[in-house]
Amino acid sequence: MTTVTTNPFLAKSLDSAARSLDIPPGKYQEAVERYTAVANWLDAPGTTLKPHAPAVTVQGSFRLGTVIRPVVHGKEADYDIDLVCRLDAPGPSMTPRRLKHLVGDRLKESGNYSRMLDKEGRRCWTLNYAEADGVGFHMDVLPSAPGTQTTLLAAEIRGVPTIFASHAIEVSERRAEEQYIWLPGGSNPEGYALWFESVNREAMLREAPLQRRMLYESNRTVFASIQSVPDALIRTPLQRAVQVLKRHRDVRFAGHPLETEKPISIIITTLAATAYRGEADVAAALAGILERIEDFATSGIILHDGDRWVIPNPVNPGENFADRWNDAGSKRAEAFFKWVAWARQDIAVAEADASETGTRTKVAESLGVSAGASSGTSKSGTPVLVHTDTVPSVAGTSHCRPPLWPVNLTHRVDVSGSVRRSMYSAKALWPLTDRPVPKNYAIRFEASTSVSPPYDVKWQVVNTGAEATNAGPGQLRGGFDDGENTNGRVRWEGTAFRGTHWIEAFVIKNGVCVARSGHVHVKVR
């Protein structure tokens, strides 16, 4: 089943914003020329590499068609290009160190590449290109060798089709100054790209004819004919969705305390492709992808066994993309699900706007772009347009009444909230988080408790700020209200006043308050 959206302007606004993040056709051609030159240099006759039959392929977001300008420290950064240099005839004496330095030494033999070469990375050699137009590239070259028969068999035993598993490679990893190992489990970027393309194939066939013609008409100085427009510049709803999600992540975590824990691109790309159901536009694709990610317990695209999170690599199931979520003290899982809620909120707010201009503006704000920007035009180092939700902090609360019952806290009660478009709406737009909720929405609160029935849940709502104060008698609230449903566990409230407010649940059993949730703050902008 595919997802549909109700705002006719949303898909167009998202697609336009994604185009502004994409690499322009002219800059794409420059990138192709750059990495083709590197490939030719590595494979030149008469060199130390030539006997090893180096095969250079482009991988990563350039290969997948999901490339965007990265955001680093709140500024537009250079494009990243990933190359894999596979030595197809490494020989029995090949060690991880020798593999790494065969490629690095060949790059250093070029005067140009030697000047552009960064210090040795853990797995890659990085070339830094500074372009005259201020939009540069970082090119990561990954030395590799063919995967072993053991690696291939392990992938096939786990159900990976041979067409994907056969592209596995061995990768050198530098652990210390002179300590190199073969990366445990190897890697398979080519197999991953083929898997992604298999998910994307039907949409690509549907989108390619019209997009190829449009790209040719607007870039006649770049392409000689319609047929010369490469598939790499066609964008399906899945590819646009991945671009939007990656950019949204970069913008929403810019300067956030969890910025270093933000979701990595391979997780976003894998989950998006796994959750995609062939939706015909980017708005529907995003809505469906985020809904299935959030409902991972049902969709099964994220595995959670006790305290362990697993997002398997689809072409190497022994590799867990979420492995670092399980590190002691890690907040990566928290950051991921917080971001999913933010993304759902921003899309829902844009969808709720009835005008084309309003929809376009809200989408642009959430992605840190200008509403009328064209693709890839801003120079590296340009500050990103990060939209901040400023809400007054908690104001005076002298109107908050103390509990009406004796208090003996022997149990727990937790409160969750989901934002709705209106009171008693069946559809949850996004879960309540620490991000502000727009005015004139509704929130459904629900209490879950360890107290055994029978009991009653009472709710205390405390509004603060100038708007609630000026609204008239009683609008600051502060008393106690009954809930709905069994035992009063549900409470509905509207978001009428700008400011920071709170709600708290009290569980009453035999006339005694045996559990209270503490303040659940709600910011309204």
DSSP 388-406: ----------TTPPPPSS-
How far apart CA 48 and CA 61 sit, in angstroms, is 30
CA 433 to chain centre: 17
Q: What's the whole-number mean pLDDT along residues 235-239?
A: 97
Q: How far is CA 335 from CA 326, 330, 388, 433, in A?
A: 13, 10, 18, 12
CA 398 to chain centre: 42
As a whole number, the mean pLDDT across the chain is: 91
Has residue 374 got a pLDDT over 60? no
Q: Comparing 208-212, 398-402, 462-466, 469-473, which segment has the lowest mean pLDDT?
A: 469-473
Has residue 34 got a pLDDT over 60? yes
Q: What is the pLDDT of residue 434?
A: 83
Q: What is the pLDDT of residue 7?
A: 87
Query: What's the whole-model pTM score?
Result: 0.83
Has residue 2 got a pLDDT over 50? no
Pick the most confident of 153-162, 250-259, 398-407. Answer: 398-407
CA atoms within 13 A on the CB side of 426: 0
Has residue 473 got a pLDDT over 90? no
Give strand pairing partners of 85. Answer: 56, 143
In terms of Cα–Cα distance, which of 469, 55, 46, 2 is closest to 275? 2
In terms of Cα–Cα distance, which of 242, 287, 272 is closest to 7? 287
Q: What is the pLDDT of residue 306?
A: 83
Q: Which residues contact 497 (CB under 8 A, 6 or more apart)?
A: 439, 463, 465, 467, 468, 471, 475, 524
pLDDT digits (tens, 9 = 90+) for 164-219: 999 999 999 999 888 999 998 899 999 999 999 999 999 999 999 999 999 999 99
Sorting pLDDT into bands at 50, 70 and 90, what band is 378? low
Q: What is the pLDDT of residue 388?
A: 61
How far apart CA 148 and CA 76 sit, in angstroms, is 40
Sorting pLDDT into bands at 50, 70 and 90, what band is 152? confident
Roughly how many angstroms between the first and final C-alpha of the chain, as a whole number? Answer: 35
Q: What is the pLDDT of residue 381?
A: 57
Q: What's the whole-number mean pLDDT along residues 14-32?
A: 90
- Six token digits for residue 441: 């929405």
DSSP 1: -
Alpha helices (H) in 388-502, listed in sequence order = 466-470
Q: Comparing 90-94, 116-120, 161-165, 295-299, which segment has the lowest mean pLDDT?
A: 90-94
Helix, strand or coil for residue 142?
strand
Has residue 380 got a pLDDT over 70? no
Q: Comparing 60-74, 163-177, 505-519, which segment has the lowest mean pLDDT?
A: 60-74
Sorting pLDDT into bands at 50, 70 and 90, what band is 1? very low
In terms of Cα–Cα distance, which of 141, 152, 149, 239 is closest to 188? 152
Determine what percent of the chain is predicted with pLDDT higher than 70.
95
Has residue 379 got a pLDDT over 70? no
Sorting pLDDT into bands at 50, 70 and 90, what band is 105? very high
**For the chain, which domains are there?**
1-22+243-388 (no CATH), 27-195 (3.30.460), 413-524 (2.60.40)
Sorting pLDDT into bands at 50, 70 and 90, what band is 496? very high
CA atoms within 13 A on the CB side of 149: 0
Q: What is the pLDDT of residue 131?
A: 72
Q: Which residues contact 523 (CB under 8 A, 6 or more apart)?
A: 389, 391, 434, 435, 436, 437, 499, 500, 501
275 neighbors 288 (Cβ within 8 angstroms): yes
Q: What is the pLDDT of residue 151?
A: 83
Has residue 270 got a pLDDT over 80? yes
CA torsion angle 370 371 376 380 (round to 10): 10
